[in-house]
Amino acid sequence: MKIITDTHFGHTNMLLYEPIRMQKARMEGYEDFDEFLIEWINSYIKKDDKVLHLGDVAFENAYKLAKKLNGKIILIKGNHDKEKHIDFYKSIGWKIIDGIEIELKEFDKEYLEKIKSKYDNKTLLDTACLVKEIGDKRILFSHYPVFNDNLYDKKYQKATKLLQEIFNLCECDINIHGHTHSYCVGDKRCINACLEVNDFVPMEIN
């Protein structure tokens, strides 16, 4: 399985926040970042590869660029993935995870419902995640990091708290996340899958 996140197609300001994006594109001979990113990612991902996208595909009207990405894509909804965008991704065959999805043989389902009952509907909708076992590791995949120490993200603290409860309920070993771009949180259980810290190469988990 290949993992990508925070492609942010069409997000001009992201090129200012993360100058490494255009630096990398120009190093590879491109002046259009979106064109670079699509061709670069597709050089690592085949059409039949299973791909997990951890959210924030595109900004405003650039969402249709998603159809150029290779792979059979599952999207964990991020904070920039609007309803109109989601409808389009579904129409091109993507599977969308927009809630809490747990692929474990055994976990306390009743306790999960108790956890969910403590949160408002907006927080539940903001907290898309997938929990599954790969090899000997139990992994929580999410857009936001589970243990987020970035002060800028205080507005997402309810979602973070819910993710922490799910992480503990499922006895997860690690969290693979997006959202933070070149910033890596301090907790070593969190692995940043963002392109900026991985030389724009998709992460691969077997």
Amino acid 46: pLDDT: 97
pLDDT digits (tens, 9 = 90+) for 71-84: 999 999 999 999 99
User: Does the pLDDT value for residue 151 go beyond 90?
Assistant: no
Which of the four CATH numbers 3.30.365.10, 3.60.21.10, 3.30.465.10, 1.10.150.120 does domain 2-204 have? 3.60.21.10
pTM of the shown model: 0.96
Residue 152: pLDDT band (50, 70, 90) is confident
pLDDT, one tens digit per residue, over 79-105 is 999 999 999 999 999 999 999 999 999
The DSSP-derived string for the chain is -EEE----BT-HHHHHH-THHHHHHHHTT-S-HHHHHHHHHHTT--TT-EEEE-S--B-GGGGGGGGG--SEEEEE--TT--HHHHHHHHHTT-EEE-SEEEE-SS--HHHHHHHHHTS-HHHHHH--EEEEEETTEEEEEESS-SS---GGGGGGHHHHHHHHHHHHHTT-SEEEE-SSTT---S-TTEEE--GGGTTTPPEE--
Residue of higher predicted confidence among 37 and 126: 37
pLDDT value, residue 206: 80
Q: pLDDT at residue 28 above 90?
A: yes
Does 114 score more than 90 pLDDT? yes
Work out the mean pLDDT of the chain and round it to a whole number. Answer: 96
pLDDT band, residue 13 (cuts 50/70/90): very high
Across the range 137-160, mean pLDDT stands at 93
